[in-house]
């Protein structure tokens, strides 16, 4: 009986988190299937003015529907890598999912014709808490995507084209 209680708690919590992730997946799928977004692009020049200079540029895109930010795409070009990160939000502005990929663009022989995927990370959130992390992002497990998303939202608000 003593062994049954901890086992039951583990199974129950697994079911609970599984349902949360399914809800997140549904939200992301709905956002990706949405048409007619108003897209706001923050160019590299904005980031240069903030002294956030990289070798190959930076770009941020915000995807709005009914004046609500539902998705952001952040592209960062470094000397030998490209990092792409997508952020997904609920209708009330809560971060629910982050998908980040790191590509190698240069090897010992020079620039690669087709960038090679080095790592990929998926993070699932509920009520501003990380509930699941899948994948590895080259030992960069400590990135605070909640804080980073807020900084990028601020950039979207502050940029005037």
Give yes or no for a contact between 103 and 82, defined as CB atoms under 8 angstroms apart.
Answer: yes
Helix (H) or strand (E) holding 4: helix 4-33
Q: CA 111, CA 160: separation in Å to the nearest integer?
A: 34
Q: Which of 39, 40, 58 is nearest to 49 (CA)?
A: 58
Q: Residue 41's domain spans which residues?
A: 4-158
**Number of domains making up the chain:** 1
User: pLDDT 10s per residue in the chain (161 long)?
Assistant: 444 444 433 333 343 444 579 999 999 999 999 999 999 999 988 888 777 777 788 999 999 999 999 999 999 998 888 999 999 999 999 999 999 999 998 888 887 888 899 999 999 999 989 999 998 766 556 789 999 999 999 999 999 87
Q: CA 34, CA 53: separation in Å to the nearest integer?
A: 33
pTM: 0.83
Q: CA 14, CA 111: separation in Å to the nearest integer?
A: 44
């Amino acid at each position: 009986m003593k062994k049954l209680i901890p086992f039951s708690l583990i199974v129950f919590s697994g079911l609970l988190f599984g349902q949360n992730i399914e809800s997140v997946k549904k939200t992301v799928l709905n956002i990706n299937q949405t048409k007619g977004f108003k897209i706001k692009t923050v160019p590299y020049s904005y980031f240069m003015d903030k002294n956030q200079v990289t070798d190959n540029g930076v770009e941020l895109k915000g995807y709005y529907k009914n004046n609500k930010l539902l998705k952001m795409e952040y592209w960062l070009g470094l000397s030998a890598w490209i990092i792409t990160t997508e952020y997904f939000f609920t209708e009330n502005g809560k971060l629910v999912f982050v998908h980040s990929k790191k590509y190698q663009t240069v090897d010992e022989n020079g620039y690669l014709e087709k960038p090679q995927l080095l790592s990929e990370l998926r993070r699932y959130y509920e009520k501003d808490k990380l509930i699941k992390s899948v994948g590895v992002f080259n030992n960069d497990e400590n990135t605070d995507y909640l804080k980073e998303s807020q900084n990028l939202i601020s950039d979207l608000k502050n940029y005037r084209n």
